[in-house]
Chains A and B, each alone.
Chain A
Amino acid sequence: MNDREQIINAIAANQPAFSPSPATHFSAGDQEGLASQFADTLTAIGGVVFIVDSLADIHQHIKDNTSAEHRVISRIGGIAGYSEDIDTTLSPHSLQDVEIAVLKAHFGVAENGAVWLTEELMGNRVLPFICQHLMIALYMKDIVANMHKAYERIGSNSYGFGAFIAGPSKTADIEQSLVMGAHGPKTMTVFLIRS
């Protein structure tokens, strides 16, 4: 008998009588002011939030706050003379010197400040992790109250890789002192776009 059969047989023999899966109905949470709840929560966990009117505002913000020698990858449309786009065939290792990645998120979650991105929005799976600074474009209308609503929205969509990202990479492993920029981005900025 191989390990697979051995394990499955042992489990089948030892598992208790069937216990049904429970209902998962939870209050939808405060539907008012989702954008401000999102902004407050993300700020509290180390993120930065700007409210803007359009993608062009984001481009301008990046131009105003970075210098031209920095490698900027934008997945929300090119910034003339500033950013490059990438395709999925690029080696992830070639992204190690990316200073800023600008990505669009599917939606945000008000209760925890997280944004949901799947692979196609990232361009390359490693990009939101390997860049020094992560910038996210999120339409205000695309904020849900909590994680139950988040998974309702994801539904049965298929993806190769997806992630909730909530704030900059961080650690508190040294005496519980919070330090931003453990391995991933040192900052995370979300641009909330008025719809």
Chain B
Amino acid sequence: MSTETKDHAALADDFNKDEDRVDWHDETLWWIRQKRDKAVNKLPDWELLRATASAIKNNVLSNLSAYLQEFEAKAQNNGIIVHWAADAKTHNKIVLDLLNAKGIKQMVKSKSMLTEECHLNEYLENNNIEVIDSDLGERIVQLAKEPPSHIVLPCIHKKKEEIGELFHLHLGTDKGNSDPQYLTETARQHLRNIFITRRAALTGVNFAIAETGEFVVCTNEGNADMGAHLADIHIASMGIEKIIPERKHLGVFLRLLTRSATGQPITTYSSHYSKPRDGKEIHIIIVDNGRSKQLGRADFRNSLKCIRCGACMNTCPVYRRSGGHSYHNAISGPIGAILAPNLDMEKFADLPFASTLCGSCSNVCPVKIDIHQQLYKWRQVIVQNGYAPAAKKAAMKLMSITLSSPFLYHTSGKAGRLVLRFAPFAVNNRFNPWFKQRDMPAPPNQSFGEWYAKNR
């Protein structure tokens, strides 16, 4: 799939060519949003929990350098080996070196958006290491040679018939059988064999506790644990922002995370890794990759509070109708749109504009990130840095001049009513995109201003 040259609008346009599929995608995600609503409404303390989680994360960001060092010391004390990676390249190199040192050629990996961000699989494959993703959804997109389209539901864009076909091709299931129970059982058998035979397992990290040096991994499938407890070496990759100060804070975050994500009261497994098994190794790689830079952007730093629940995607009316791949970034949806420009402002200049600024994302966010406000602010930064299309710049300049002058406004308004040339929604007049699927408002005989002058 080539997404390199197309922006969000163009990719969303492609996605919308099949309206039934858009409806299906929208309804599926809306159903998850409804499950979330049902779950959170059972907790009278919900808004207090959100406020508390937000305040804990503010504390984390304000004291992050100390917390990271505290975590490192405690983890080392527990017998965990800690590595630091300033960027994706270093992270990938550390993983490769660890595998090479043990002569390991195959690794099993549970969900880690960070490794998606670092394009670890690609890198390892280029270095003759086979990686198998063990989360069912991730395994499905891996077989399809696609990136995940959602951080919690990696193959939410795929229909079961397509998955049945993939499994038939790669795992030998019966052609035409797309029963989820049957396909899941097949994946269970296939991956069980992988878990049993892999000597290295990589997992993500949901929370790393500064106070104790332990880290927590949450899954429903149990795939992180199956990998880690059967392997000789467990590598856990974490962004610097995964730190929380104290163990008791898990009480707050674990109450919020899964209710926000899927409406479950908690994930099936919330595994607390503190020490390696006798004779085995746990390695933690602490990764920056642009995060410390984002920390320095006062308007955008609190995007680092994100706990990757995906609620903003499920609620986003644009995400639901454009699909995760339209964001052409490892992390899609509203949160992806405020994280990505920090990594590459030019490449992701389109993402903050892929929103109506409706604000629903900020309301569901369990750590109260002001996502829609940051989308607005990124738009300003992107334009100021020169990444706005020239035609748009010219149109905006003209609009600014017109609207700053009552005379020009009234003159062009008269003309504008006939052709709607002036209207804010019609400034981008390339192929008159308004008119393609919508009628224009019927032009009135006179403006309100003209009526007022005559009648009052």
Contact = CB atoms under 8 A, between A and B. Distances in A.
Q: Do chains A and B touch in the complex (CB under 8 A)?
A: yes
Interface of A: 2-4, 6-8, 10-24, 26-27, 41, 45, 88, 92-93, 96, 109, 111-114, 124-126, 129-130, 146-148, 150-152, 154, 156, 158-177, 179, 181-185
A182 B255 contact: no
Interface stretch (B117-125, B260-268, B328-336, B404-412): B260-268
A158 B272 CA distance: 11
B275 to A, nearest CB: 4
A57 to B, nearest CB: 26
Contact of B90 (A3, A11, A170): A3
Given A7-B86, A150-B251, A165-B269, 9 more contacts: A8-B69, A148-B252, A160-B274, A162-B274, A163-B270, A166-B265, A176-B28, A183-B134, A185-B222
B135 A147 contact: no
Contact of B65 (A12, A129, A151): A12
Contact of A183 (B191, B250, B274, B286): B191
B308 interface: no
Contacts of B246: 21
B42 to A, nearest CB: 8
A55 to B, nearest CB: 25
A129 B59 contact: no
Nearest to A13: B296
Contact of B196 (A93, A114, A124, A184): A93
Contacts of B140: 173-174
Interface in B236-277: 240, 245-252, 254-255, 262, 264-277
A37 to B, nearest CB: 11
A21 B64 contact: no
Contacts of A146: 251, 255
B159 interface: yes
A147 B251 contact: yes
B295 interface: yes
Which secondary structure characterizes the binding site on chain A? loop
The 7 closest A-B pairs by CB, nearest first: A184-B222, A14-B296, A112-B265, A173-B137, A182-B221, A126-B229, A22-B55
B229 A10 contact: no
Given A164-B270, A182-B220, A24 B251 contact: yes
Contacts, number: 245
Interface string B169-209: 00000000000110111011001100110000000000000
Nearest to A181: B188
B271 A161 contact: yes
B301 A16 contact: yes
Nearest to B289: A7
B292 interface: yes
A132 B154 CA distance: 26
B28 A175 contact: yes
Contacts of A112: 265-266
B185 to A, nearest CB: 7
A16 B62 contact: yes
Contact of A182 (B51, B222, B249): B222
B245 A21 contact: yes
B52 A174 contact: no
Contact of A18 (B63, B90, B298): B63
Contacts of B85: 3
Contacts of B154: 173
B293 A27 contact: no
Contact of B62 (A15, A177, A179): A15
A169 B221 contact: yes
A45 B258 CA distance: 13
Contact of A169 (B86, B158, B220): B220
A46 B264 CA distance: 11
B274 A174 contact: no
B155 interface: yes
A132 to B, nearest CB: 10
Given A22-B52, A174-B184, A164 B266 contact: yes
A125 B274 CA distance: 12
B230 interface: yes
A16 B223 CA distance: 37
A18 B65 CA distance: 12
A170 B295 contact: no
Contacts of B270: 114, 163-164
A32 B305 CA distance: 35
